[in-house]
Amino acid sequence: MATPISVQHVLPDSPYTCFVIPSLFSQTACEALLNPAIKNSFQKANSNYPTYYRNNDRFVVDDEALAEQLFQKVKPYLPTTITVNADIPAENGIWQLQELNTRLRFCKYSANQYFHRHLDGVHYRSETVQSKLTFMIYLNSATEFKGGRTLFFKTKETSEVWASYIPRQGDLIVFDHNVWHEGEVLSEGEKFVLRSDILYTRITGTQPKEPFAGHLGYIWSLLKFDEDTILSGGRDTSIKAWSLWGEEKLSLREHQHSILSLEKMNADTFISGSRDQQIIVWQHYKALKKIRIHSAIVLSLCRITDNTFASGSGDNTIHIADLNGTVLKTITGHTNWVWQVIKLDEKTIASASEDHTIKIWNFETGQLLTTFIENAPVISVAFHASTNQLISGNLHGEISIRSLNDHSCTTFKAHNGIIRTIKLLQNNIIATGGEDNKVKLWHFNGQLQAELNHQNFVQSIEQLADNKIISASYDGMIKVWEIM
């Protein structure tokens, strides 16, 4: 009889599941997983993930048979049920072990590559089937590289390492999606891992449906389409139309991946941009045209006229195109992701980029007019037309208010984490959403007016009325707030 393997708990004083099963997979098994075909298939992840977050290579494969084989190997060591009592109603209840996600992600790290601190996203099969634990096999040992530990942290902000694990070939690590962790930068060699997710089925604890409840997972984008309708786009590939009081009117599914941007074109038409590299034109809530003009993730859409728009992408370009999909102008000059594009006037646009710059362009000619350099990637930007000021938010949680008249600039710390969205409200109030899970309202002098809380990153904000705003978050919730 085989000797049982002793599980090593990585966070022994924590309520979170986090353990290693040493040598669960043999050297032969690891070499079979990391076969020559896989080794020759790795691609850069930067078409789907920003470099501030990760810069490693990866290869994704869907394989039901292999997933089942891996699951049976680890199943005896996994908790058969998990009880969740969270602030997010959709997650609460008792969850029973089901299977391994059939989507398997092979990851390769070379010198100077990393996966910075993050939480692993939940994989949603349905409202009652979702992942709770991360599954990761180390396919080679740290004797083949320097650095590359798996580091764990109690919070996103702390500099203190809670625990670390040095990879050894054949070890399997399993941990809760709610544990902050990172793949330490490599200084030499190559590191290989295979990652997936362990799925559970909820067997108790179904919750009554709340207003604006319906998305599975992250919500990326909001758009007030008309006086009666809010649109939202999420990681679940759906665009949902809601009444102002949160009743779901309809759900649109034409994209293959997360919907990252929504923009109104005219009274009947809006466009959506996605991680699937497509822009879809919607008219009367029907998909009228699918446009593929970018070679990477579509991050931002900006209406120019009723029939033309600007799009910013992870391929570092901006396209000016019409609703038929004809590219009228391609604007190049950024050296990294173009996070947001906004219209300033009838001839100019501004773009915010991962390359630490804001650039102003004549979109008719493609001419670069001005470049502003910040000390971090610029993730969000807005324009205050009456004062001719740009308001930008960066990776360090700073807001910069910059005059386009004399280029003077005021910068202040606004969030503990990336500022993901900026919305100018009536009465000269700036609304910001950040990776500290907060919506904050600011006066132009930097004075904080109000602070509102989500359970995860705040991704989008819209104004409903003079005294109401709406916000969407990675916690899968849309909240309506009354403001002063």
CB 435 within 8 A of CB 456: no
Q: Do the strands 57-62 and 186-189 form a parallel or antiparallel pair, or are they unpaired?
A: unpaired
Q: For the chain, which domains are there?
A: 8-204 (2.60.120.620), 219-482 (2.130.10.10)
Tokens of 324: 């038929």
pLDDT for res 408: 95
Residue from 122, 117, 123, 199 nearest 164 by CA:
117
**Torsion angles phi and psi, residue 294, rounded to 5:** -115, 155
In terms of C-beta density within 10 A (0-12 exposed, 13-18 middle, 19 or more buried), how is residue 434 classed? buried
pLDDT for res 151: 98
Distance CA 257, CA 110 (A): 28
pLDDT for res 206: 63
The secondary structure of 355-412, three-state, reads CCEEEEEECCCCCEEEEEECCCCEEEEEEECCCCEEEEEECCCEEEEEECCCCCEEEE
**Torsion angles phi and psi, residue 405, rounded to 5:** -80, -50
Instruction: Spell 146-172 as b/e; 16+ CB within 10 A means b.
Output: ebbbbebbeeeeeeeebbebebebbbb
Give 418's Cβ-side CA count (13 Å radius). 23
pLDDT for res 1: 39
Tokens of 239: 């665009």
Distance CA 476, CA 453 (A): 13
**Torsion angles phi and psi, residue 435, rounded to 5:** -80, 5
Amino acid present at 122: V
SS3 75: helix
Distance CA 258, CA 19 (A): 31
CB 134 within 8 A of CB 180: no
Distance CA 465, CA 227 (A): 9
Q: Tell me how crowded residue 87 is: count the other CB atoms within 10 A of its CB.
A: 12
In terms of C-beta density within 10 A (0-12 exposed, 13-18 middle, 19 or more buried), how is residue 40 classed? exposed
pLDDT for res 6: 86
**Mean pLDDT of each 10-residue bin along the chain, 484 residues long:** 75 92 97 96 89 94 98 97 82 93 98 96 92 98 97 94 97 97 97 98 79 93 96 97 96 97 98 98 98 97 98 98 98 98 97 98 97 97 96 97 95 96 93 97 93 95 92 95 87
